[in-house]
Amino acid sequence: MSQATSEATETTSLLEVEDEDIQFPPCDLDSDEPPLDTDLHRNQIDLLIRLLQAWWQDRQDFYISGNLTVYYNEQQLKSRDFRGPDVFVVLGTEKKNRRSWAIWQEGGKYPNLVIELLSSSTAKVDKGAKKTLYQEVWRVPEYYWFHPDTLEFAGFRLVGGGYEVIAPTDSGNLPSEQLGLELGIHEQQLRWFTAQGDLIPLPEEVERQRAEQERQRAEQAQQRLEQLENFLRSQGIEPDQLPDL
């Protein structure tokens, strides 16, 4: 079989989903994902998940996960011709832990946003068969890919029946209309940004910033105290001999 014929067969197998043929499998399915390619991929997935969970910690109407199988019909389950996205976000759903995402168990909800991390072994599928699946079967409103090694980064928004490239902002970020946020590269990692383009920090980054601000305030208070003491001495008053108030 030629390479072109093989690719066409693969894409066709992803798209041939007839509603009348769907027989829903059990709802307690475990995720069935292969190991991640590198530490960079695993750390990048964890980073994106932790950031959004912390930023939306007060929200209970979303679900974000990574390297988790999305089951959407029995045909897919039997053929095993597709695995879960590296990162995906679903809006308007219950925020809780899951073993997998089964469409029939989740009110028919598909992801609002998907991010795939490219590698030498997955880039062809991520840019081909998976993109076709997200566009024509899942109808995912926004699809992004990012390569942790080369920093290749692109995003697509579903318009009508197909994906259109998302234009970057002046800072190079890609805006997500679905989440009201932006995705961009910071220190060679894919990060979430606010709609205003501000980097969304991790909790530990917030704590470091808070500690640094406290240190600066303490230094400023000490400097003001020393200035006051020096002024009193210049007036012939010894600060240590002042009565306690």
The per-residue pLDDT for range 8-50, each reduced to its tens digit, is 444 444 444 444 444 544 555 544 445 555 788 899 999 999 9
Answer whether CATH 3.90.1570 is correct for domain 3-200.
yes
Q: Are 165 and 56 in contact (CB under 8 A)?
A: no
* Confidence band, pLDDT 50/70/90 cuts, at residue 218: confident
Could you read off the pLDDT of 46-62 as tens digits, one per residue?
A: 999 999 999 999 999 99
Q: Are 63 and 89 in contact (CB under 8 A)?
A: yes
The pTM of the full predicted model, rounded to 2 decimals, is: 0.73
Q: Are 29 and 100 in contact (CB under 8 A)?
A: yes
State how far the Cα of 245 lies from the Cα of 117, in Å rounded to an integer: 64
Q: What are phi and psi of 16, to 5 degrees?
A: -80, 80
Domain limits, the chain: 3-200, 204-241
State how far the Cα of 168 lies from the Cα of 170, in Å rounded to an integer: 7
Could you read off the pLDDT of 150-197 as tens digits, one per residue?
A: 999 999 999 998 999 999 999 999 999 999 999 999 999 999 999 999
